[in-house]
Chain A
Amino acid sequence: MHDLILYIQSYLDSDRTPGGAGNIFWATVYILLVFGGLSVAVIAMNWLERKILAHMQVRLGPMRVGPHGLLQPIADAIKLLLKEDIIPAEADKIVFWIAPFIVVLAAFTVFVVVPFGPTHAITDMNIGILFMLGVSSLSVLGIVTAGWASNSHYPLIGALRSSAQMVSYEVAMGLAVLSVILMTSLNATGTGTLSMIGIVQAQLAQGEWFIFKFFPLGLIGFVIFAIAMVAETNRAPFDLPEAESELTAGFHTEYSGFRWSLFFLAEYSAMIAVSSIAVTLWLGGWLRPFPNALSGPTWELVFSLFPGITFVLLALMCFYNTARMPKHPLFKIQTIGLAGFGVVLGVIGLLLFLTPVRVRVTDIFWFAAKVAGFMYLYIWYRGTFPRYRFDQLMKVGWKVLLPTGLTLLICTAVWAMRSDVWFEVIVPLWHYFVGILHWLVSLL
């Protein structure tokens, strides 16, 4: 028993991730935390999407189920769990059962390497970014088999379109990611790294987020990845394969109840996963804004107060809306509920002002805040842009993003090595060319 406690405590002062330190207990704790946090995030995304879309369309969104619709996702989850599980008549039962499983597996396994802080990842693989890209490409297989197993033409067309779109935009994503990996190698030792934590540490060491590096090359890479990641997750404006007005919900038409909610869960998890890739690679991961420009102990203090201030602001918004609730006896429970929610948020905010909590949470907070910004962008795109037609979609993927990505890669490489390009590339090529000319002349 004492050995167990020692084992648990031996990790607490470590400066490596639990996977790196080989500590199974803490690795399991981190896995459970990430899984739980992800589930809460998906539920919150459901509510936020409906509310934010509604406010963008000048309407209110769900207001009835809980105070301001806060319990709506829970009501949706209960409904989906209780729905009848229909399998189409001649569908392939094994493949039909396995398809949502593959998609959810791929979407959740990606989070093993997502870095919430310098030691706050489940493990830090040396091929972190490669692992993330690879596992997220396994979800394409799940979608294709889902469309096939439904034994009906709408899902099949939707699945084939969706997987063609995902495969096309994976190429553009890979090229943008490659340009960032190039930038990580511009540090003192001259070797880059594929590990997610290493990429953020390279940004810290080089003193600028990669989105601003070699301006505008970092920015163009970020924009390419931002567009490709929206297409990769089949979200608006690239959601033709699952658009309700076009293909009657595409590849998940025949899935009902719990199986559909698995696809839904996987879609939102994939959104969060590719957003975390974008945040880690371009926006500096867990680093606070201006890590080098505004440095020093006072600025550290100011920036470390942000988590607490955010939650206290949210609590104040809850209290303000509680005051605005209608004073009708039927609204009593909702008013009390909203006030209670505000109190919980306020308590969390006050807890986040304490120094030991502040020091540990600040990395996770900045990472989560940046990913939350990306989630808002996703919802904004859905509310603003009209849908791309499928041939326009493929045209953008292959004819616009791919050449731009290749040019970006070449330009980044040339600009990064600009001091070496003359002597290492141009001069030897010139000598080679002159040698060929000499040989040709000697033939005469």
Chain B
Amino acid sequence: MLAATMIIGGVLVITRKNAVHSAMALITTLLAQAALYLMLYAPFVAGVQIILYAGGIMVLFLFVIMLINLERNMKERQFNKQWLVGIVAAAALGGLFIAVYTTTTRGKVLFPEGRMTYGESQNTQAIAGLLFDRGAGQYMFAFEIASLLLLVAIIGAVVMAKKRI
């Protein structure tokens, strides 16, 4: 049911004419994804997804959508002359995915028959272990580099948007 919500939300994102409706459908999709994370016994990732993605990034999306005047765009008729090629390409990609997942051995590993059930308390501890532990934790450097990358992006955005005084 959660997967159905996500798929319907995703379809609504791309089919709505009103951009605010698309953003709300995206929020539904992200919340369903957080619930899927919960079902995979990863509560920490679910919580962080809600805080950052649904509560932070979507707010920024909505800000931008609301500050741009989209009235004229909504009334224009949408046209798409390449719909046949688009359908063929999407069907080919989908067929390729299905073929990989069902026939090759590496693909079969991605969807194991049984699900591993971790205790609920282990997700946060496991992530902390991967980041900080002396033996297993090699991800701290990559984490810090990624945050430096985001900082550079923020500084770039601020510099570009500044008024020339």
Task: Please determine whether chains A and B interact with each other in the same assembly.
Answer: yes
> A138 contacts B43, CB within 8 Å?
no
The reply to whether A141 and B20 form a contact with Cβ atoms under 8 Å apart is no
Q: What 1/0 mask marks residues of chain A from 50 to 63 whose CB sits below 8 Å from any chain B CB?
A: 00000000000000
The smallest C-beta distance from A179 to any residue of chain B, in angstroms, reads 16
A194 to B56, CA, bound (A): 21
Contact B66 A160 (CB under 8 A): yes
Are B47 and A127 in contact (CB-based, < 8 A)? yes
B55 close to A134 (CB less than 8 A): yes
| B11 interface residue per 8 A CB criterion | no
The contact string, 1 if C-beta is below 8 Å from chain B, for chain A 126-138, is 1100110111011
Q: Complex: how many Å from CA A127 to CA B50?
A: 12
CB–CB B20/A95 < 8 A? yes
CB neighbours (8 Å) of B43 from chain A are 125-127
Partner of B51, one of A134, A148, A191: A134
Q: Does B24 contact A (CB under 8 A)?
A: yes
- Nearest CB of A to B20, in Å: 6
Q: Are the C-beta atoms of A148 and B20 separated by less than 8 Å?
A: yes
- Closest residue of chain A to B63 (Cβ to Cβ) is A160
**Known contacts A135-B50, A144-B66: does B55 contact A130 (CB below 8 Å)?**
no
Contact with A along B54-79 (1 / 0, CB 8 A): 11101100110011000000000000
Chain A residues, CB < 8 A from B125 = 191
Cβ distance B142 to chain A, nearest Cβ, rounded Å: 19
Report if A163 contacts B (CB, 8 A): yes
User: Which range holds the interface residue count of chain B?
Assistant: 20 to 34
Q: Considering the chains assembled together, what is the distance between the CA atoms of A339 and B32 in angstroms?
A: 53
Interface string of B99-129 (1 = CB under 8 A from A): 0000000000000000000001101110000
A137→B50 contact, CB < 8 A:
yes
- Tell me if A141 and B21 are in contact (CB < 8 A): no
Q: Does A417 contact B (CB under 8 A)?
A: no
Contacts of B147 in A (CB 8 A): none
C-beta contact mask, B19-63 vs A, less than 8 Å → 1, else 0?
011001001000000000000000110111011001110110011
In-complex Cβ contact of A140 among B21, B55, B67, B123 (8 A): B55
Nearest-Cβ distance from residue B121 to partner chain A, whole angstroms: 5
CB distance from B135 to the nearest CB of A (A): 15
A156 with B66: CB separation less than 8 A: yes
The answer, yes or no, to whether A92 is at the interface (CB within 8 Å) is yes
Contact present for A145 and B24 (CB under 8 Å): yes
Known: A94-B21, A95-B21, A134-B50. Is A148-B62 also a contact (CB below 8 A)? yes
Q: Which of B20, B48, B50, B51 has the most CB of A within 10 A?
A: B51
Residues in A with CB closer than 8 Å to B124 are 126-127, 194
Q: Is the CB of A126 within 8 A of B20?
A: no
**A141 and B51 contact, CB distance less than 8 A:** no
Are A140 and B59 interface neighbours, CB within 8 A? yes
A145 touching B62, Cβ below 8 Å: yes
Partner of B50, one of A92, A138, A144, A163: A138
A170 to B46, CA, bound (A): 18
**Complexed CA–CA distance, A45 and B3 (Å):** 41
Q: Please name all residues of chain A whose beta carbon is closer than 8 Å to the beta carbon of B138 when the two chains form the complex.
A: none
- CB-based nearest B residue for A138: B55
Given A137-B56, A145-B62: A126 in contact with B21 (beta carbons within 8 A) = no
The interface of chain B, by Cβ under 8 A from chain A, is: 18, 20-21, 24, 27, 43-44, 46-48, 50-51, 54-56, 58-59, 62-63, 66-67, 120-121, 123-125
Task: For the complex of A and B, list the 7 residue pairs with the smallest distance between their C-beta atoms, beginning with the closest.
Answer: A137-B55, A130-B47, A134-B50, A134-B51, A127-B47, A127-B43, A126-B121
Q: Which residues of A contact B (CB under 8 A)?
A: 92, 94-95, 98, 125-127, 130-131, 133-135, 137-138, 140-141, 144-145, 147-148, 156, 160, 163-164, 167, 170, 191, 194
Question: What would 13 more interface pairs be, CB under 8 Å, given A141-B27, A170-B55?
Answer: A92-B18, A127-B46, A130-B44, A130-B47, A130-B51, A131-B47, A134-B50, A134-B55, A137-B55, A141-B58, A145-B20, A164-B63, A167-B59
